[in-house]
Amino acid sequence: MTAASRVLYAQAVPRTRPPTTVEVVATVGGVRVRCRVGERAVYSVSGMRIDGEGAPKAYHPRGSPPGLDLLANAGRPGDWFGVVTDRHGSPVVQKARDPATSFYAQRLLAKNKCGGFDPDRIDGEYGELTAAAVWRAKWMLGYPERLMNRNFGPKLNDYLSGTKPLPAAYAKARATRLKESKSQDGIRKQIVRWANWGVENTGQIGYDKKGPRLEALGSPGHLPLVTDCSAFATLCYNWAGAPNPNEAGPYDGNHLTYTGTMLKHCQHIPRSSAKPGDLVVWSGGDYPDGSHVGVLVEPGRDPLLVSHGQQSGPARIRFSVEDAYQRGEGYTTLTWLSAFK
């Protein structure tokens, strides 16, 4: 059979699969939402527009400027789909003094009756650092483990603003966690001590990404030592009795541990909140999960780090110098981390 005859044959033979009956179940903003008869799932095909989350002027009748988008793109009377409506079905108009949700959350997290939970910049963007600040706030307010998440809700707002008192169980847990937080200072000092120990013994510490990088777990001060940047930081934490920066639970040399596990497990914090013993990771290019990690040993305008990324062993280096080098190599994404709650 020739190619041409195969095409003709394919066109001539009817499909045996019966056609699927589809019905339109709703129309939203001019887009038909369809459902296959006998099935529960619905689907639609439409364009997509995204505005700044929490922006005070997302939609405006005149479009942009002064808003970010034309109000008509959010629907029409009786069919609003892109804006919040009141009980009468009318769009809620944000007034000049009404704060955008994320702006409000960030400001309250930064300054409240229960202490500061630094969300970094007050920019209205509910990003990783703001979400992490919410998690820290809930933890320090005594939220039970089962209610721990990164969502800013009405209850957290009430507790931080002082509108409502903390439940008795929360207050009790908060008192315990505040004591634990104070005891972290001693552990942080031990992390810094072991990081500096690495510099003092740099001649006996080699660099290798492969092999038994964590063979010295549970053996403080083991020499000679061959390891890499993330394993060296993990050993400093282990020897100091600090929380595992790679995963929940005990240290295990057989588990995957590298900059990526640190980025995934640790709290992301703003640079302004970093304390001695915290970590800083560079990512980018071929290493989106982290190319290098350093241990913060001295905060300040130009923090001092201990970095182990070369055969010559761990070294003290200013953040600005390490950052310039990493950026020159294409690792331009910077993340400050804390393994402490």
- Structure tokens given for 250: 């005990």
Give yes or no: residues 241 and 313 share one domain.
Answer: yes
Tell whether 306 is covered by a domain: yes
Tell whether 173 is covered by a domain: no
Q: What is the pLDDT of residue 245?
A: 97
Give yes or no: residues 162 and 207 share one domain.
Answer: no
Confidence of residue 76 (pLDDT cuts 50, 70, 90): confident
Give yes or no: residues 191 and 257 share one domain.
Answer: yes
Percentage of the chain surpassing pLDDT 70? 86
Give me the mean pLDDT over the 120-125 stretch. 82
- pTM of the entire structure? 0.68
Confidence of residue 331 (pLDDT cuts 50, 70, 90): very high
Tell whether 96 is covered by a domain: no
pLDDT digits (tens, 9 = 90+) for 201-231: 999 999 998 878 999 999 999 999 999 999 9
Q: What is the pLDDT of residue 166?
A: 96
Tell whether 130 is covered by a domain: yes
Domain that holds residue 136: 101-166
Domain boundary among 166, 195, 211: 166
Domain boundary among 48, 80, 112: 80
Confidence of residue 233 (pLDDT cuts 50, 70, 90): very high
In the predicted structure, residue 84 carries a pLDDT above the cut 90? no
Give yes or no: residues 150 and 296 share one domain.
Answer: no
- Omega prior to 99 cis, within 30 of 0: no
Give yes or no: residues 161 and 188 share one domain.
Answer: no
Number of domains in the chain: 3
User: What is the C-alpha to C-alpha distance for residues 221 and 219, in angstroms, rounded to an integer?
Assistant: 6
Tell whether 171 is covered by a domain: no
Of 80, 81, 133, 66, the residue nearest 102 (C-alpha): 133
- Structure tokens given for 166: 């903390």
Give yes or no: residues 148 and 203 share one domain.
Answer: no
Contacts of 81 (CB under 8 A, 6+ apart): 28, 29, 74, 75
Of 283, 267, 292, the residue nearest 135 (C-alpha): 267
Residue 75 bridge partners (DSSP):
80
pLDDT digits (tens, 9 = 90+) for 181-209: 888 999 999 999 999 999 999 999 999 98
Q: What is the pLDDT of residue 210?
A: 83
